[in-house]
Amino acid sequence: MKTILVTGGSGVLGRALLPALEGRADVRVLSRHADSRPTFRQGDLQTGTGLADALRGVDTVIHAASQPSRPQADLEMTGVLLAAAREAGVRHVVYVSIVGCDRVQAFPYYRAKTHSEALVAAGGVPFTVVRATQFHEFVAFMLSRLTRVPLLPLPGLPLQPVDVH
């Protein structure tokens, strides 16, 4: 059975992904926070702390950790992960990206995702980039923020959200 490390396993996508992987791989989860569950490994993709331990014996990394509000940090996290994955002999990195990120360069986060895709492609580890559209949870979050004002402005943004499952 292959060993898969999921970064961002505590996030919206990661939480849906873990049950789907159960029984099909030996799954580990990377989180910055201490967690007593045996599958969890504490580590930080910005500093690299804990990464070598978390990656030992790992075949595949699914990189779903992200920091949308800090695009530069988001990009750096991918770089740190790739260097550690190369060092650990990881055989495949799956990078979760966003549909059309290269076409919406007005958003710093989308620019960071596009740069991250390029980093992954040049990272020296066989890779797959999976681009998803917005998750329903994200759209609900954005709409819930708009409800703070008495009049609800609905932006004319074309969206085609997906269920993370």
Ligand X SMILES: NC(=O)c1ccc[n+]([C@@H]2O[C@H](COP(=O)([O-])OP(=O)(O)OC[C@H]3O[C@@H](n4cnc5c(N)ncnc54)[C@H](OP(=O)(O)O)[C@@H]3O)[C@@H](O)[C@H]2O)c1
Binding site for ligand X (CB under 6 A): 7-8, 10-14, 30-33, 44-46, 64-67, 77, 96, 98, 113, 132, 134-135, 138
For residue 138, which of 117, 112, 111, 109 has the smallest C-alpha distance? Answer: 109
CA-CA distance, 31 to 54, in Å (whole number)?
10
CA-CA distance, 149 to 113, in Å (whole number)?
31
Q: Looking at beta carbons only, is 25 or 94 nearer to ligand X? A: 94
For residue 97, which of 134, 130, 61, 120 has the smallest C-alpha distance? Answer: 130
Which conformational region is residue 8 in: left (phi greater than 0), alpha (psi within -120 to 50 degrees), or beta?
Answer: left
Cβ-closest residue to ligand X? Answer: 11
**Least Å distance between CB 151 and ligand X?**
26
Q: Looking at beta carbons only, is 110 or 125 nearer to ligand X? A: 110
**Least Å distance between CB 32 and ligand X?**
3
CA-CA distance, 32 to 35, in Å (whole number)?
9
Q: Looking at beta carbons only, is 11 or 123 nearer to ligand X? A: 11
**Least Å distance between CB 16 and ligand X?**
8
Q: Looking at beta carbons only, is 26 or 50 nearer to ligand X? A: 50
